[in-house]
Structure 1
Amino acid sequence: MGKSMHHASLKKLCLKKECGGLGLRNFNTWNRVAYQGLVFDIAYKKQSVWVAYTWVYQIRNKGFWTMSIPSNCSWVWRAVLKMRDQEKQHIKFLVADGKDFMLWDDP
């Protein structure tokens, strides 16, 4: 056969070993789910250093759901902001006393 590269599809590589694949994770799906988790953490203001930093330095007084994507932001922050629309359908809000809810900016 000789030495040459043999290409395999990502779909085939991600199959379990028992099914003829290599058992690799589909990293496209893995990354999408990771970004969705970050959107969820920001929306619910999870108690973490990263979320606190994001609210203070990235979002500031803008609405997280309505802010535009800055042209000079990191690729991670850009990916998180792009994921907002897909994640909206999975998040529900309870207004309660209204202290943390902005009527015109939040969904």
Structure 2
Amino acid sequence: MEQETKVEISQALGNIQMVSQGKYLGLPMVVTRSKQQLFGYIKDIIQQRLKRWKNKLLSAAGKEVELKSVALVMPTYMMSCFKLPKKLCKEINSIMANYWWGEGNGKNKMHWTSWSKMSLDWKTGGLGFKDLGAFNTALLGKQVWRLLTQPNLLVSKVLTNRYHPKESFFKCKVPENASWIWKGLMGARQLIEKGVRRRIGNGKSTKIWEDSWIPDNHQGKVTTHKPQGCNLVKVDEMII
């Protein structure tokens, strides 16, 4: 807002002090439309932190602990709110891979295996490093589940009234002017939809042929086609 408006509001609220752009839990307090402003500093922070560590003095186990407990944890809060660009995830993976394999004479040493293989589970031959893209989707999916199961939360009410006041969360469209937070949550919608099932209750709000309500079914939907002349629409019509 304009400077005059800021001063007027500050005086009306008891001469509170105006603050400039800052951060809260690692996130910028003012989110702009610039992806570089929002996501760029994550890569910079990880890169600066890795430069402080003397990887020549660490064993492979020491590097593994530092990457998993520090580098991979730093963007966690950001990934629980926003969908990180694929390019950024690749750049962060590249930074960590270079740190893992080390450098000599100012050049990165040869990478004897890809980072994707190192991100596999121990049982499948990997080292258990997190796949940032999958981890990001999982964190966003957790937030989606929270919105679905706790509709009385303030954030749930705000997002529902803003983006799908009359439609289901799984059927609403994503407007072009939607916030990055909402677009990120929509990126995890498909993942949640595969596993979510409706509670029947009295069955008056569950559609027989369209909703996912069968627990032991892969898709949760009725597999048979709707017979011709069938007038059954809601599950409550099947309850005797």
The interval holding the TM-score normalised by the smaller chain is: 0.5 to 0.7
* Structure 1: distance between partners of 2:189 and 2:120: 30
Assess if the C-alpha contact under 8 Å between 1:45 and 1:52 holds in 2: no
Higher RCO by CA contacts (8 Å cutoff, separation 6 or greater): 1
Q: Could you list the per-position Cα deviations for residues 33-71 of structure 1 after superposition, in whole angstroms to 9, with x for gaps in the alignment?
A: 011112222232354332222122222222211111111
CA contact (8 A) 2:141 2:185 kept: yes
Distance in 2 (CA, whole Å) between partners of 1:76 and 1:98 is: 33
Partner in structure 1 of residue 217 of structure 2 = none
Q: Secondary structure at the match of 2:108?
A: coil
Flag structure 2 segments of 5+ consecutive residues without an equivalent: 1-103, 212-240
Q: Among 31, 41, 62, which residue is 2:167 paired with?
A: 62
- The alignment's TM-score, normalised by the length of structure 1, stands at 0.66
Cα distance in structure 1, aligned partners of 2:174 and 2:130: 29
Is it true that 1:45 corresponds to 2:150 in the alignment? yes
Moved more, 1-10 or 81-90: 1-10
Q: Which runs of 5+ in 1 are unaligned?
A: none
Q: Which structure has the larger Rg over C-alpha atoms?
A: 2
Task: Quote the Cα distance in structure 2 between the aligned partners of 1:86 and 1:20.
Answer: 24
Report the number of matched residues: 101
| Percent pairwise identity | 16
TM-score between both structures, scaled by the size of structure 2: 0.34
Amino acid at match of 2:115: L
From 106, 115, 123, the counterpart of 1:3 = 106
